[in-house]
Structure formats: structure tokens, C-alpha cells
């Protein structure tokens, strides 16, 4: 039996850096929602899906501690590709 340690839940998902792209477009690709048990595989898949949109030059996903020890905040920072304008 594998003990994965205490369960941690997603308290909040913050999205930054998107100017032209709506938050909901990014959230739609996310495999985790606020309140879900945190899952590294789903987080990695989410990052890949957001990159796969091909709107962004860069996608960084980090975690910071939440309000309680069993909570984490997921921070998504994107840098949009220039549209050549």
C-alpha cells in the first residue's frame, strides 16, 4: 500500500498574464477545479493542455500554501504570444 501523505485540496486557482485570453478559456483546459484534491498528474496535464492552446509563449504553473495546511493555491502565469500587430 502506498501512503501518499495527507490529502491537500486546491483552495484557489489564480490566473495571471492573460490580456486577450479570457480566464474561462484557460480554466476550461484545467483538469483541476477549486475544491478538488490536489493531483500532480492532473496539474501537469493541465499545463500541457494550456500550452496546447498555442496562445501563449510561456506557461508557468506554481503552488503556494493556502489558508490551511491541507490547502494549496495554484498559480498559472501565462505570457501571450504577440499577434504581430
- For residue 15, give every residue at least 6 positions away whose Cβ sits within 8 Å of its Cβ, in sequence order, or none: 23, 26, 27, 76, 78
CATH classification code of 9-80: 3.10.20.310
Q: What is the pLDDT of residue 3?
A: 66
Q: What is the pTM of this model?
A: 0.87
Residue ranges of domains in the chain? 9-80
- For residue 44, give every residue at least 6 positions away whose Cβ sits within 8 Å of its Cβ, in sequence order, or none: none
pLDDT in tens, 27-84: 999 999 999 999 999 999 999 999 999 999 999 999 999 999 999 999 999 999 987 6
Q: Which residues pair with 59 in a beta bridge?
A: 78
Amino acid at each position: 500500500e502506498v501512503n501518499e501523505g495527507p490529502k491537500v485540496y486546491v483552495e484557489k486557482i489564480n490566473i495571471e498574464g492573460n490580456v486577450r485570453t479570457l480566464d474561462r478559456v484557460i480554466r476550461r483546459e484545467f483538469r483541476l477545479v477549486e475544491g478538488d484534491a490536489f493531483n500532480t498528474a492532473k496539474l501537469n496535464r493541465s499545463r500541457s493542455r494550456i500550452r496546447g492552446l498555442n496562445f501563449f509563449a510561456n506557461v508557468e504553473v506554481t503552488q503556494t500554501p493556502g489558508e490551511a495546511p491541507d490547502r494549496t493555491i495554484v498559480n498559472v502565469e501565462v505570457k501571450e504570444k504577440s499577434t504581430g500587430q
